[in-house]
Chains A and B, each alone.
Chain A
Amino acid sequence: MNTYKKLLAATALAMLTGGLMAGGAAAKTLVFCSEAAPGGFDPALYTGGETLDATGQAVFNKLVEFKPGTSEVEPALADSWTISDDGLEYTFKLHPGVKFQTTSYFTPSRELNADDVVFSFERQKEGSPWAKYVDGASYEYFEGMDFPKLIKSVEKVDDLTVKVTLTKPNAPMLANLAMDFSSIVSKEYADKLMADGTPGKLNEQPVGTGPFQFVDYQLNTAIRYEANPDYYKGKVKLDSLIFAVTPDAAVRVQKLKAGECQLTIYPDPADVEGLKADTNLNVIQEEGLNVSTLAYNTTQAPFDKPEVRKALNQAIDKKAIVDAVYLGQGTPAINPIPPTMWSYNKSIKDDEYNPEAAKAALEKAGVKDLSMKIWAMPVARPYMPNGRRTAELIQSDFAKVGVKAEIVTFDWQEYLKQASDPKHDGAVIIGWTGDNGDPDNFLATLLSCQAVGTSNRAAWCNQEFTDLINKAAVVSDPAERTKLYEESQVVFKREAPWATLAHSLVTTAMTKNVSGYVPSPLGVHNFASVDVAE
């Protein structure tokens, strides 16, 4: 404890005088202008990227993790694993000698073992003493990824071996285990908090095995971390990491330019050109694992007819949307999954933009004087910078083929809720950012029969499509899965439940002295590999 305090004091001093000391032993600090304040510090309780960045990515590790810059799974806290032939039993061998972080509020007495892994999953189950350890606790991802039904048990075999048993085979399972809600927390720390009667601290002062350890959080202002000296992959190059909470995109850009932070994300598309032109900055852009769509309510006439949906798709000038809304920071979407995802079907041709043909097709389908509603989402999301502007563009496109569209909008919560209801009126602008890089996470989540009423906002239930998707989720051979998903995309395009609008480019901007940053296609931000030059 005592030495720690000295260390902290020394670090603080170094931070204070850092600006004055030329070269020397100044600490390497990265200030990251983040897009929102974290909800809390338990990665399993939240679904927002801002919280996952601040917890699962910075402080914790998982059994398996996504290889930086990809959505491939690689070993992390588990060195290796075996899957039984029936696909029901996963046995993980843990990395030996992994230490939990020693912080001002907790000193671990033992290394990571199977108990921690078992606890990390068991605690999220209904009925566990941790199920409601803070007011309003709910494990949204655990529920959302269907873990309560999918996972039969998580058992300790020996100190360094854990067995996960499923109720049915599930091909995306490993990818799910690499997500942040599967972060491994310290059971010893949790037990101590429970014994002290302060379980809520688990959500305030996290203890993990990750590259950075938590120092302080100033509400809605800044999170401070320092490097974990005991990190099992070796101490990272940065000495400290600061998240400067900056919700306004224009302000983030300003702060980066003014040198108040060294790295930022999600600039307004309008600012990207300026960032690229700035010689003091580096800009990394890559295709995000996302899609934005206009989802027709396929249970509502006349959108229940595929030919009507196809005709309307032909009326939409996607190029104009990419230009005016994404300001070029995106690509028109053809399939419901992004081109960077495996099993993307390259042979599919997009509906050609052709107002004349659209008009003719509508007439042929017997649709005259159609008036409809277009739902414009009220918030900017990484896949959709401006829902209203998109709606306005589509509105004027539809006007050209004689379809009168009225733009409606609600607040975001109401929007999500009402759009989920299969009885909603009209076509909804919505989208998705992948959680785990598996096509199942797009196709089953957004378009299968079982998702009608929740995330299938087209209320589209096509048995042929759903059968393909559900089959692909249980077979384990990647080649066969690929084939099934490719086939499903053909069905999707034929039936056209959505007008696929665009995939956005995800932009990260940083000052020239920052190196080693690897953007993740999954919309999370990890600074373990980053270095800052003096």
Chain B
Amino acid sequence: MTNEVSPPVPLASSQTSGRMARFSEFWFYFSVNKGAVIGFAVLVVLVLIAIFGPLIAPHAPYQQYRDALLTPPSWQVGGKEQFLLGTDAVGRDLLSRLIYGARYSLFIGLIVVTFAMITGVILGVLAGYFRGWVDTLIMRIMDIILAFPPLLLALVLVAILGPGLFNAMIAIALVLQPHFARLTRAAVMSEKNREYVIASKLAGAGHLRLMFKTILPNCLAPLIVQGTLSFSNAILEAAALGFLGMGAQPPTPEWGTMLAEAREFILRAWWVVTFPGLAILITVLAINLVGDGLRDALDPKLKRS
């Protein structure tokens, strides 16, 4: 479940046509990809749902309707109108829980990617810029992390930290972060000896300035693409941890946790199993579509054909 994007290719940095031009060029290539636009639209809707969840949700996500346990969706026989997608085993409205679940999933993705990206980029820049023993040390540690299967490592980490949403996020971020480190390191190494860097060096720029102000912005494209991929990975892995009982804890309406709780009803109440999974799939799919679009738009190698 890991992804490496194609080798880093710098943005056409010599152009100084300004940000607007760059953006409109980006948008042009991005909008060519119909899938990406659809994905983007779905993502926007999901974000809106997450933000305005409390206003949209017909019920409170924890409210138990004791007289309506496992009510089927409203269009099925036995369904009730007030529970559009039915209720779960303790009578909570599934739709409302799914709506609140969108908050968790997007939040998880965002935090995990931010955390993984920041640490990964810092480590990668350090390794790629200084080389030598710093590089060796950092990359050996990354090798060690990558030698363990991600989900297994995350599981052990969560077992150490204790089950829970926050700890699951830390574990996933730690597992995803080597990909950022490797990518950044490679990009920094290829940028390091370019004229503009050397020029800047000669002009007396310090290490920090060279690393983060001069070089890093030119390595952003592959990082953004990796970021989107990690975003969807983070959501999937958090759901998997939830499913294995090690992620968010009930009654949190996290989708993976909801699936785990629903597992015993697979034969009796299809809706409690189907909808949370579908929600995960749709979200991850939308993000991946956007990720594909981003890659196409930011990767000039594919632009020419």
Tell me, yes or no, whether A and B come into direct contact in the complex with CB atoms closer than 8 A: yes
Seen from chain A, the residues whose Cβ lies within 8 Å of a Cβ on chain B are: 249-250, 253-254, 268-271, 273-274, 320, 323-324, 378, 388-389, 392-393, 396, 407, 409-411
Kindly state whether residue B66 has any CB partner on chain A within 8 Å: yes
Task: Please measure, in the bound complex, the distance between the C-alpha atom of A389 and the C-alpha atom of B251, giving whole angstroms.
Answer: 8
Contacts of A410 in B (CB 8 A): 162
The reply to whether B266 and A389 form a contact with Cβ atoms under 8 Å apart is no
Partner among A274, A392, A411 whose Cβ is within 8 Å of the Cβ of B267 = A274
**Mind listing 15 A-B residue pairs with CB under 8 Å?**
A254-B267, A273-B268, A274-B267, A274-B268, A324-B69, A324-B89, A324-B90, A378-B163, A388-B251, A389-B90, A389-B250, A396-B64, A407-B251, A409-B163, A411-B162
Task: Please measure, in the bound complex, the distance between the C-alpha atom of A320 and the C-alpha atom of B68, giving whole angstroms.
Answer: 12
The reply to whether B66 and A320 form a contact with Cβ atoms under 8 Å apart is yes
Nearest CB to that of A324 among chain B residues?
B90
Partner among B159, B263, B265 whose Cβ is within 8 Å of the Cβ of A411 = B159
Min CB–CB distance A445 → chain B (angstroms): 28
Seen from chain B, the residues whose Cβ lies within 8 Å of a Cβ on chain A are: 64, 66, 69, 89-91, 159, 162-163, 245, 249-251, 261, 263-269
The reply to whether A250 and B245 form a contact with Cβ atoms under 8 Å apart is no
The reply to whether A270 and B90 form a contact with Cβ atoms under 8 Å apart is no
The reply to whether B66 and A324 form a contact with Cβ atoms under 8 Å apart is yes
Contacts of A388 in B (CB 8 A): 249-251, 261
Given contacts A324-B89, A393-B90, A411-B163, contact A271 B264 (CB under 8 A): yes
The reply to whether A250 and B263 form a contact with Cβ atoms under 8 Å apart is yes
Nearest CB to that of B250 among chain A residues?
A388
Task: Please measure, in the bound complex, the distance between the C-alpha atom of A410 and the C-alpha atom of B159, giving whole angstroms.
Answer: 10
| Chain B contact residues: helix, strand, loop or mixed | loop
| Chain A contact residues: helix, strand, loop or mixed | helix
Contacts of B64 in A (CB 8 A): 392-393, 396
Task: Please measure, in the bound complex, the distance between the C-alpha atom of A330 and the C-alpha atom of B171, giving whole angstroms.
Answer: 39
The reply to whether B264 and A250 form a contact with Cβ atoms under 8 Å apart is yes
* Given contact pairs A249-B264, A388-B249, a sample of 12 additional A-B residue pairs in the complex whose CB atoms are under 8 Å apart: A254-B267, A270-B265, A273-B268, A274-B268, A324-B90, A388-B251, A389-B89, A389-B261, A392-B64, A393-B90, A396-B64, A407-B251
Given contacts A389-B90, A396-B64, contact A270 B268 (CB under 8 A): yes
Task: Please measure, in the bound complex, the distance between the C-alpha atom of A253 and the C-alpha atom of B265, giving whole angstroms.
Answer: 12
Partner among B69, B159, B162, B267 whose Cβ is within 8 Å of the Cβ of A271 = B267
Min CB–CB distance A400 → chain B (angstroms): 12
Contacts of A378 in B (CB 8 A): 163, 245
The reply to whether B249 and A409 form a contact with Cβ atoms under 8 Å apart is yes
What are the nearest 3 A-B pairs in CB distance? A268-B264, A388-B250, A270-B264
Task: Please measure, in the bound complex, the distance between the C-alpha atom of A531 and the C-alpha atom of B261, giving whole angstroms.
Answer: 37
Task: Please measure, in the bound complex, the distance between the C-alpha atom of A268 and the C-alpha atom of B249, giving whole angstroms.
Answer: 20
Contacts of A396 in B (CB 8 A): 64
Task: Please measure, in the bound complex, the distance between the C-alpha atom of A320 and the C-alpha atom of B261, giving whole angstroms.
Answer: 18
Contacts of B89 in A (CB 8 A): 270, 324, 389
Min CB–CB distance B96 → chain A (angstroms): 16
Task: Please measure, in the bound complex, the distance between the C-alpha atom of A268 and the C-alpha atom of B272, giving whole angstroms.
Answer: 16
Min CB–CB distance B177 → chain A (angstroms): 25
The reply to whether A392 and B251 form a contact with Cβ atoms under 8 Å apart is yes
Task: Please measure, in the bound complex, the distance between the C-alpha atom of A22 and the C-alpha atom of B251, giving whole angstroms.
Answer: 54
Contacts of B162 in A (CB 8 A): 410-411
Contacts of B251 in A (CB 8 A): 388, 392, 407
Task: Please measure, in the bound complex, the distance between the C-alpha atom of A378 and the C-alpha atom of B245, giving whole angstroms.
Answer: 9
Contacts of A409 in B (CB 8 A): 163, 249
Task: Please measure, in the bound complex, the distance between the C-alpha atom of A320 and the C-alpha atom of B64, giving whole angstroms.
Answer: 11
Contacts of A271 in B (CB 8 A): 264, 267-268
Min CB–CB distance B76 → chain A (angstroms): 17
Task: Please measure, in the bound complex, the distance between the C-alpha atom of A378 and the C-alpha atom of B162, giving whole angstroms.
Answer: 12
Contacts of B91 in A (CB 8 A): 324
Nearest CB to that of B245 among chain A residues?
A378
Min CB–CB distance A273 → chain B (angstroms): 8
Min CB–CB distance A146 → chain B (angstroms): 33
The reply to whether B267 and A253 form a contact with Cβ atoms under 8 Å apart is yes
Task: Please measure, in the bound complex, the distance between the C-alpha atom of A389 and the C-alpha atom of B89, giving whole angstroms.
Answer: 9
Min CB–CB distance A382 → chain B (angstroms): 15
Min CB–CB distance B252 → chain A (angstroms): 10
Contacts of B269 in A (CB 8 A): 270
Contacts of A324 in B (CB 8 A): 66, 69, 89-91
Min CB–CB distance B60 → chain A (angstroms): 11
Given contacts A324-B90, A392-B90, A411-B163, contact A250 B266 (CB under 8 A): yes
Scoring A274, A389, A410 by chain B CB atoms within 10 A of each residue's CB, the highest score goes to: A389
The reply to whether B250 and A392 form a contact with Cβ atoms under 8 Å apart is yes
Scoring A270, A324, A410 by chain B CB atoms within 10 A of each residue's CB, the highest score goes to: A270
Task: Please measure, in the bound complex, the distance between the C-alpha atom of A254 and the C-alpha atom of B266, giving whole angstroms.
Answer: 11
Nearest CB to that of A319 among chain B residues?
B66
Task: Please measure, in the bound complex, the distance between the C-alpha atom of A254 and the C-alpha atom of B64, giving whole angstroms.
Answer: 30
The reply to whether B267 and A250 form a contact with Cβ atoms under 8 Å apart is yes
Contacts of B249 in A (CB 8 A): 388, 407, 409
Nearest CB to that of B269 among chain A residues?
A270
Contacts of A392 in B (CB 8 A): 64, 90, 250-251
Task: Please measure, in the bound complex, the distance between the C-alpha atom of A28 and the C-alpha atom of B265, giving whole angstroms.
Answer: 34
Min CB–CB distance B88 → chain A (angstroms): 10
Task: Please measure, in the bound complex, the distance between the C-alpha atom of A153 and the C-alpha atom of B91, giving whole angstroms.
Answer: 58
Nearest CB to that of B159 among chain A residues?
A411
Min CB–CB distance B10 → chain A (angstroms): 48
Min CB–CB distance A377 → chain B (angstroms): 12
Contacts of A270 in B (CB 8 A): 89, 264-265, 267-269
Min CB–CB distance B7 → chain A (angstroms): 43
Min CB–CB distance A233 → chain B (angstroms): 39
Task: Please measure, in the bound complex, the distance between the C-alpha atom of A324 and the C-alpha atom of B250, giving whole angstroms.
Answer: 15
Min CB–CB distance A326 → chain B (angstroms): 12
Min CB–CB distance B86 → chain A (angstroms): 15
Min CB–CB distance B149 → chain A (angstroms): 19
Task: Please measure, in the bound complex, the distance between the C-alpha atom of A392 and the C-alpha atom of B252, giving whole angstroms.
Answer: 11
Task: Please measure, in the bound complex, the distance between the C-alpha atom of A221 and the C-alpha atom of B245, giving whole angstroms.
Answer: 23
Contacts of B267 in A (CB 8 A): 250, 253-254, 270-271, 274
Task: Please measure, in the bound complex, the distance between the C-alpha atom of A271 and the C-alpha atom of B163, giving whole angstroms.
Answer: 28
The reply to whether A323 and B264 form a contact with Cβ atoms under 8 Å apart is no
Contacts of B163 in A (CB 8 A): 378, 409, 411
Min CB–CB distance B151 → chain A (angstroms): 18
Scoring B159, B249, B264, B265 by chain A CB atoms within 10 A of each residue's CB, the highest score goes to: B264
Given contacts A392-B251, A409-B249, contact A323 B69 (CB under 8 A): yes
Nearest CB to that of B70 among chain A residues?
A270
Contacts of A274 in B (CB 8 A): 267-268
Contacts of A320 in B (CB 8 A): 66
Min CB–CB distance A407 → chain B (angstroms): 8
Task: Please measure, in the bound complex, the distance between the C-alpha atom of A393 and the C-alpha atom of B250, giving whole angstroms.
Answer: 12
Task: Please measure, in the bound complex, the distance between the C-alpha atom of A250 and the C-alpha atom of B261, giving whole angstroms.
Answer: 13
Task: Please measure, in the bound complex, the distance between the C-alpha atom of A273 and the C-alpha atom of B269, giving whole angstroms.
Answer: 13
Task: Please measure, in the bound complex, the distance between the C-alpha atom of A407 and the C-alpha atom of B250, giving whole angstroms.
Answer: 9
Min CB–CB distance B90 → chain A (angstroms): 5
Task: Please measure, in the bound complex, the distance between the C-alpha atom of A393 and the C-alpha atom of B261, giving whole angstroms.
Answer: 15
Task: Please measure, in the bound complex, the distance between the C-alpha atom of A409 and the C-alpha atom of B66, giving whole angstroms.
Answer: 24
Nearest CB to that of A393 among chain B residues?
B90
Nearest CB to that of B69 among chain A residues?
A324
Nearest CB to that of B162 among chain A residues?
A410
Task: Please measure, in the bound complex, the distance between the C-alpha atom of A249 and the C-alpha atom of B268, giving whole angstroms.
Answer: 14
Task: Please measure, in the bound complex, the distance between the C-alpha atom of A324 and the C-alpha atom of B66, giving whole angstroms.
Answer: 8
Min CB–CB distance A490 → chain B (angstroms): 33
Task: Please measure, in the bound complex, the distance between the C-alpha atom of A388 and the C-alpha atom of B90, giving whole angstroms.
Answer: 11
Task: Please measure, in the bound complex, the distance between the C-alpha atom of A271 and the C-alpha atom of B89, giving whole angstroms.
Answer: 13
Task: Please measure, in the bound complex, the distance between the C-alpha atom of A411 and the C-alpha atom of B244, giving whole angstroms.
Answer: 13
